[in-house]
Amino acid sequence: MPLREVLQFPDKRLQSVSREISEITDEIRALAQDMCDVMYDEPGIGLAAPQVGEAVRLIVVDTDWTEEDAERAPLVLVNPELSEHDGKIVWTEGCLSVPDFQAEVERAERVRLRALDLDGKEIDIAAEGLQAVCFQHEIDHLDGILFIDRISRLKRNRYTAKRKKQLRIEQEEAGANSPA
């Protein structure tokens, strides 16, 4: 079965607020597995359900994973919430849904995350550094926020113009290559 496709900016579905998961079903477990497969295949260190077209509050994160042969230990987080934001850190972020772009984003240096695992057990994590940044980035996706929404208007507008031009070129090439 092919992997789910990662939605890319400017897809409007990335701007939707996701709904809470009321029951952890086999479909939610299958979605979580699909998301892990996509995250590692891309490769990335985090993925939110809206990025694969599912508007539910589910994220997967593996900030210790660095290469294909490395051990994989994804955190699967259902209905994650952040609290106890502390400190400030500037991190250069990228995103599977925002291709070919990275920018510095100011985030909380330390956060507390509460969520459920796929068995419905409560998870409570005090995170800092990369893990804290990743949690904030992925939970933003659940609220319809992309990291480019947190950078200057000038940088965002430059990226948006470049991305729209790139998509126009791709569409023109696809049209030129289709049979008449």
Q: SS3 breakdown of the chain: % helix, strand, coil, rounded to 5?
A: 35, 30, 35
Tokens representing 149 are 């929404």
> How far apart (Å, rounded) are the C-alpha atoms in residues 148 and 76?
24
Among the listed residues 138, 170, 172, 173, the single catalytic one is: 138
Cβ pair 148, 111 in contact under 8 A: no
- Is residue 23 among the annotated active site residues? no
CA distances from 17 to 3, 66, 68, 76, 133 (A): 23, 30, 32, 19, 20
Cα 68 to its chain centre, rounded Å, is 19
Q: What letter does residue 167 receive in the DSSP assignment? A: H
Q: What is the set of active-site residues?
A: 138
